[in-house]
Chains A and B, each alone.
Chain A
């Protein structure tokens, strides 16, 4: 094992253990933090074997870890000033505005704001946004990794290519294939909109490309002659399943390059959920795998906000999911397949990419591990087989796709990982974003004009408005604004700086106990364009 990982070992062991045995270490940490962690053990999405810890610390992420590390010592009282809080909150924020009407491409998307706040170190959430260049439409997605970030990273890099390829007409696929064949320049497929911290792994791009090429070659072979209309829903499902399949295959086949070999194994053995939106004109498709969520913000005629959920969570709270799992496995497993609200008593999301431990047969797992690199072999977790593991696969990456036809009152879409949804109610999320977005443009001035208003009433109204405005003005990014509320909200639903400061200054080994990684994308729709579409038809 390389030296850095070893040096690092005792440290992670410590914090990872606390994370894993959430309940167990509850008391253990009481003396460390001033108030007891309110996050129950069930909040942790994953209760793997302790040995999993080492596995989830890939060595190429070691540098990231140290760089990203802000607090080394045991917890002390840290009070952050508002500017410090802002610099933490805004570190990962990103905004994209769709260029205005250029004569040919009127987008129903005005732009999007995205941001993420880590709780894990390094963060296991990922986000992606891209414009499809060969078809119309924009892709946006949030990915929540578990047991490390390898899988979410891979999915965030690769999934949109799979989707874009699935959407491409036959001729374009042929053209691309011919270009590759003859070494010509390729047609660009995606225009990425990335924050500088959103990286792509260079080493694996060749491998990934080859897998993708195989996919489109198959698509070409399958579709010969027919030029049927491409169904977006089907394309999304195919892309998800295909990518998961490729992840699994790559791990089984391995790679002669030992680094890549280890990488593909880590991708396959870790997991990720995905929630992806495809917006093309008024057609909005949301493909969801796992427990991230897509929420539509609808402004009613009276100006109030309501939330429309466009995805179903795939977890124990979703009865149809539990039902599905039970049906997919023999009756005698009905009790063990979902245990303590977890898949096989271990995994919180019921659908995910990667996680081959829940997909492969025991034989396959053992074979791959034995032939795998030492790191894998030495790892306790990978050797560990889930209990009651009789009829794999137990897990699928197949997404549930929701279609929504945009209306002028649909103002925005919030895509976020469960880190947000477990701290805030969807209705609050939509209201806060809605008020933020409209408040940015016009806060309605108050006029007394004829009403009976007392000084006291006016005063409390103004105080309320000011509290709202002050937090709105601090943020130029709707996602940042939402995170500020998610982390800093007090019991009255307004941002409490002291609380915000405490939450953000938690040492990273404790942060995960209080909150999960939060990743948010807020997509704003252009009501005029949407309205115009509507009128055309």
Chain B
């Protein structure tokens, strides 16, 4: 077997270069003539012989898994991998993406040495150009984050740009970033090298073999049906690139892998009169929407146009990407941009315009991980045209995930389970990727919302709120109000509102926050994931006690904040659970936990238990009444006393509100302000909302949105899962020891890890930072991911930030580590360590002094208005 495809590699090596691929093709067809029977079984079957499939095979085999079969429907590295522009770039927006790209770069660097196969790896470095100040800010942000994870990069002057790349026109630039260790490589050769190494480690590779579907029994992978017979297996890895979506749907129980292909064009030229040096740096001109690299003495240049052309929406499943139409008219804007950037190229002769489809996902991040529905079904696809940069790292994380059960980094941002079936409509994907592809080179500013594929899930109050000026953001397909624009105010147009500085809604949110503090606000929070867990016997409690870290054996009507931890003690979910009665629990989780939490519960609940898990998200509309007067509104509406004596904090009761009965009222707010959550059966939602608004009028009620909520919760040091917390953060690391039943003698998942951590101390600590010398009006705003410096040493990154209208300061949350100055090793972080440091937060290269706090500012919790201090003005009718 190995001999067979090695011959392909060999032939290929003999004939280097793009134009010679046709010869490789013919040799491949020769190779298939003697077909070999597939093995009857294997531990792992990987579908897809591109860079992803070969990388997963390579890493699995390195980690000691040997019984692996890799199937490729055409030839190895013949899909997007073959056409890839070959740029390895580490300058990414997400930390996890930076890490993946960095690892890939290092892997490819030594691959030729390891395998003996030429990969064409050249460390050219890359230059990122900024035509605008905003772009430069964006580059500076990336720059400061690259530096702290040890990737050299710097912001350079235009003079330096011209030195590095003499052909560039720099006159319209405002700055640039240089990443010297970025590289170019032949992606097809990398895939072949990875395959070769994997093959030497025992991986069996079969090309010209198509996977028809995956066989599943009782929610577990049992085998694979191919056009050449069946293979029994435990694990299946879908690395089918643009065909991953179709392959997922081909299952009996379809697996939704939301991705969609767009045509992508780049241009190849003949060599320059004096051929360009092969170490000429790669140029990324995002404002011009193009990238340029040297290619055989000439250039290769492509880009991400404003008007992409989605293809294969109907699922046209051709074997390989062959001769898609070149569309010069479509390429015209990019060509103009190229000639503007490098005017001297005018005389270069064209070789061809390559049309190579790339796959895009609904949120511009790749997709990896295990299917929530089928155990053993793994996916790695949807690379948003960064497949080569991510290939090595993504393959490694997925291999770790399969072998150890979890990857060594938190990859929630890339997890397949962040999506549900709701993102798998072809129309949705087609529309969304048309927005995503240009976004790759658009300016990425804080609080960006996708414009396509909206209004899919809405609360019954959507139209009411919209009519009152709500502006919306979307989470997991659900529309949530950001803030309410007063009738007399106008906000900037979408494009103009993009800023790294103070946003135009600042005053609007301020007034909403003020109303939450002084009167009462309503926030529609219907998007939260809501599960009901019931059982016929006492089993429910028993199982839940094992699944959740806090003690759930509380009196009926009480609410418990708890986490669902993994074996390592990290948060898989952070939720609130109300005990409705002896045998049933109502669980509220973050919106994007809908799929992940369900899968986690299903995976860990005993198969034969009489536990009933029901997703009731769609059944309830959630209204959050926040503010000191919430209690007045509710008691007036229900004719029941709602004072703390009658309705203590963290308490849940079904009661009537207005005419409607059966409203679940909970005395909690997710922000630390006084108030109530109302879970309303949807048919009553409009009635209750109307009642609340009309009764609330005299208490000064108004609508508020998530931006106000965010400001309130961050200033009170409330961490949110998915932003601040992830699978690698434990309750002890964020000061939530009190929410864990460590000393109650009950076992639960992650207990051992926590006990050990309590013993040894934590290696990072969630800390709240209050920016001191930051000018809200003039300085760049923090977002998340800003490096934290302690006594001038890098100590971690922020996870979220907000402006606190009460403190009149910016507040950032982030984890502080204790890296040893000598070895860089992580050391124990104590409260003392935190308190003794001087802190700075680096926002796009500018460091701001920050006060570190381990506990929230207490003054924020003293609720000013009580019955005693009624003012005269309250006697006035409103």
Please say whether chains A and B are actual partners in one complex. Answer: yes
A residues bordering B, Cβ < 8 Å? 443, 445-448, 452-456, 458-459, 462-463, 465-466, 469
Q: Are B349 and A454 in contact, CB atoms less than 8 angstroms apart? A: yes
Chain B residues whose C-beta falls within 8 Å of the C-beta of A456 in the assembled complex = 339, 345-347
Whether B711 sits at the interface, judged by CB under 8 Å, is no
**CB pairs A–B below 8 angstroms (6 shown):** A445-B325, A453-B349, A454-B350, A456-B339, A459-B335, A459-B339
Q: Would A453 and B329 be within 8 Å (CB), given that A459-B335, A463-B336 are in contact?
A: no
Chain A residues whose C-beta falls within 8 Å of the C-beta of B346 in the assembled complex = 454-456, 459
Interface centre among B267, B347, B349, B352, by most A CB within 10 Å? B349
- Expressed in whole angstroms, the Cα–Cα distance for A463 and B328 within the complex equals 11
Q: Given known contacts A445-B325, A447-B328, A448-B328, what 5 new A-B pairs fall within 8 Å (CB)?
A: A448-B326, A454-B346, A458-B335, A459-B335, A466-B329
Whether B616 sits at the interface, judged by CB under 8 Å, is no
Interface centre among B327, B335, B338, B348, by most A CB within 10 Å? B335
Binary CB contact string for chain B from 813 to 853 against chain A (1 if under 8 A, 0 otherwise): 00000000000000000000000000000000000000000
Q: Are B329 and A454 in contact, CB atoms less than 8 angstroms apart? A: no
Q: Are B332 and A466 in contact, CB atoms less than 8 angstroms apart? A: yes
Q: Are A458 and B329 in contact, CB atoms less than 8 angstroms apart? A: no
Nearest neighbor of A458 in chain B, beta-carbon distance: B350
- Expressed in whole angstroms, the Cα–Cα distance for A445 and B352 within the complex equals 14
Q: Report the minimal beta-carbon distance from A468 to chain B, rounded to whole angstroms.
A: 10
Q: Are B350 and A453 in contact, CB atoms less than 8 angstroms apart? A: yes
Whether B860 sits at the interface, judged by CB under 8 Å, is no
Chain B residues whose C-beta falls within 8 Å of the C-beta of A465 in the assembled complex = 329, 332
- Expressed in whole angstroms, the Cα–Cα distance for A459 and B350 within the complex equals 11
Chain B residues whose C-beta falls within 8 Å of the C-beta of A462 in the assembled complex = 328-329, 331-332, 335
Chain B residues whose C-beta falls within 8 Å of the C-beta of A452 in the assembled complex = 349
- Expressed in whole angstroms, the Cα–Cα distance for A462 and B265 within the complex equals 15
- Expressed in whole angstroms, the Cα–Cα distance for A458 and B335 within the complex equals 9
Q: Are B335 and A455 in contact, CB atoms less than 8 angstroms apart? A: yes
Chain B stretch 508-535: residues in CB contact (< 8 A) with chain A? none
Q: Would A455 and B352 be within 8 Å (CB), given that A446-B328, A448-B326 are in contact?
A: no
Whether B353 sits at the interface, judged by CB under 8 Å, is yes
Contact of A447 among B326, B336, B347 (CB under 8 A): B326
Chain B residues whose C-beta falls within 8 Å of the C-beta of A459 in the assembled complex = 332, 335-336, 339, 346
Q: Are A458 and B348 in contact, CB atoms less than 8 angstroms apart? A: no
Nearest neighbor of B301 in chain A, beta-carbon distance: A455
Binary CB contact string for chain B from 114 to 130 against chain A (1 if under 8 A, 0 otherwise): 00000000000000000
Q: Are B348 and A455 in contact, CB atoms less than 8 angstroms apart? A: yes
Nearest 3 pairs of A and B residues by beta carbon: A456-B346, A462-B332, A446-B328
Whether B222 sits at the interface, judged by CB under 8 Å, is no
Q: Report the minimal beta-carbon distance from B288 to chain A, rounded to whole angstroms.
A: 14
Nearest neighbor of A452 in chain B, beta-carbon distance: B349
Contact of B328 among A454, A458, A469 (CB under 8 A): A458
Chain A residues whose C-beta falls within 8 Å of the C-beta of B350 in the assembled complex = 448, 453-455, 458
Chain A residues whose C-beta falls within 8 Å of the C-beta of B347 in the assembled complex = 454-456
Q: Report the minimal beta-carbon distance from A152 to chain B, rounded to whole angstroms.
A: 43
Chain B residues whose C-beta falls within 8 Å of the C-beta of A448 in the assembled complex = 326, 328, 350-353
Q: Report the minimal beta-carbon distance from A502 to chain B, rounded to whole angstroms.
A: 28
Chain B stretch 561-620: residues in CB contact (< 8 A) with chain A? none
Whether B269 sits at the interface, judged by CB under 8 Å, is yes
- Expressed in whole angstroms, the Cα–Cα distance for A458 and B348 within the complex equals 10
Chain A residues whose C-beta falls within 8 Å of the C-beta of B331 in the assembled complex = 462
Nearest neighbor of B347 in chain A, beta-carbon distance: A454
Nearest neighbor of B351 in chain A, beta-carbon distance: A448
- Expressed in whole angstroms, the Cα–Cα distance for A448 and B352 within the complex equals 7
Nearest neighbor of A466 in chain B, beta-carbon distance: B332
Q: Are B329 and A445 in contact, CB atoms less than 8 angstroms apart? A: yes
- Expressed in whole angstroms, the Cα–Cα distance for A466 and B327 within the complex equals 13
- Expressed in whole angstroms, the Cα–Cα distance for A91 and B234 within the complex equals 69
Chain B residues whose C-beta falls within 8 Å of the C-beta of A469 in the assembled complex = 329
Chain B residues whose C-beta falls within 8 Å of the C-beta of A455 in the assembled complex = 267, 269, 335, 338-339, 345-350
Q: Are B328 and A445 in contact, CB atoms less than 8 angstroms apart? A: yes
Interface centre among B269, B329, B345, B347, by most A CB within 10 Å? B329
Nearest neighbor of A451 in chain B, beta-carbon distance: B350
Q: Report the minimal beta-carbon distance from A465 to chain B, rounded to whole angstroms.
A: 6
Nearest neighbor of B352 in chain A, beta-carbon distance: A448
Q: Report the minimal beta-carbon distance from A458 to chain B, rounded to whole angstroms.
A: 6
Q: Report the minimal beta-carbon distance from A451 to chain B, rounded to whole angstroms.
A: 9
Q: Report the minimal beta-carbon distance from A7 to chain B, rounded to whole angstroms.
A: 43
Q: Report the minimal beta-carbon distance from A237 to chain B, rounded to whole angstroms.
A: 50
Chain A residues whose C-beta falls within 8 Å of the C-beta of B351 in the assembled complex = 448
Binary CB contact string for chain B from 319 to 347 against chain A (1 if under 8 A, 0 otherwise): 00000011111011001101100000111
Chain A residues whose C-beta falls within 8 Å of the C-beta of B327 in the assembled complex = 445
Q: Report the minimal beta-carbon distance from B47 to chain A, rounded to whole angstroms.
A: 34
Nearest neighbor of B327 in chain A, beta-carbon distance: A445
Chain A residues whose C-beta falls within 8 Å of the C-beta of B348 in the assembled complex = 454-455
Q: Report the minimal beta-carbon distance from B280 to chain A, rounded to whole angstroms.
A: 17
- Expressed in whole angstroms, the Cα–Cα distance for A454 and B336 within the complex equals 13
Q: Are A443 and B345 in contact, CB atoms less than 8 angstroms apart? A: no
Chain A residues whose C-beta falls within 8 Å of the C-beta of B339 in the assembled complex = 455-456, 459
Chain A residues whose C-beta falls within 8 Å of the C-beta of B335 in the assembled complex = 455, 458-459, 462
- Expressed in whole angstroms, the Cα–Cα distance for A454 and B335 within the complex equals 12
Binary CB contact string for chain B from 203 to 247 against chain A (1 if under 8 A, 0 otherwise): 000000000000000000000000000000000000000000000
Chain B stretch 249-270: residues in CB contact (< 8 A) with chain A? 267, 269
- Expressed in whole angstroms, the Cα–Cα distance for A346 and B195 within the complex equals 91
- Expressed in whole angstroms, the Cα–Cα distance for A422 and B347 within the complex equals 42
Chain B residues whose C-beta falls within 8 Å of the C-beta of A445 in the assembled complex = 325-329
- Expressed in whole angstroms, the Cα–Cα distance for A525 and B43 within the complex equals 68
Q: Report the minimal beta-carbon distance from A454 to chain B, rounded to whole angstroms.
A: 5
Q: Report the minimal beta-carbon distance from B279 to chain A, rounded to whole angstroms.
A: 23
- Expressed in whole angstroms, the Cα–Cα distance for A462 and B330 within the complex equals 9
Q: Are A463 and B353 in contact, CB atoms less than 8 angstroms apart? A: no
- Expressed in whole angstroms, the Cα–Cα distance for A169 and B104 within the complex equals 87
Chain B residues whose C-beta falls within 8 Å of the C-beta of A447 in the assembled complex = 326, 328
- Expressed in whole angstroms, the Cα–Cα distance for A465 and B329 within the complex equals 8
Q: Report the minimal beta-carbon distance from B485 to chain A, rounded to whole angstroms.
A: 26
Interface centre among A454, A455, A462, A466, by most B CB within 10 Å? A455
Chain A residues whose C-beta falls within 8 Å of the C-beta of B328 in the assembled complex = 445-448, 458, 462
Q: Report the minimal beta-carbon distance from A78 to chain B, rounded to whole angstroms.
A: 25
Q: Report the minimal beta-carbon distance from A351 to chain B, rounded to whole angstroms.
A: 48
Chain A residues whose C-beta falls within 8 Å of the C-beta of B332 in the assembled complex = 459, 462-463, 465-466
Chain A residues whose C-beta falls within 8 Å of the C-beta of B269 in the assembled complex = 455
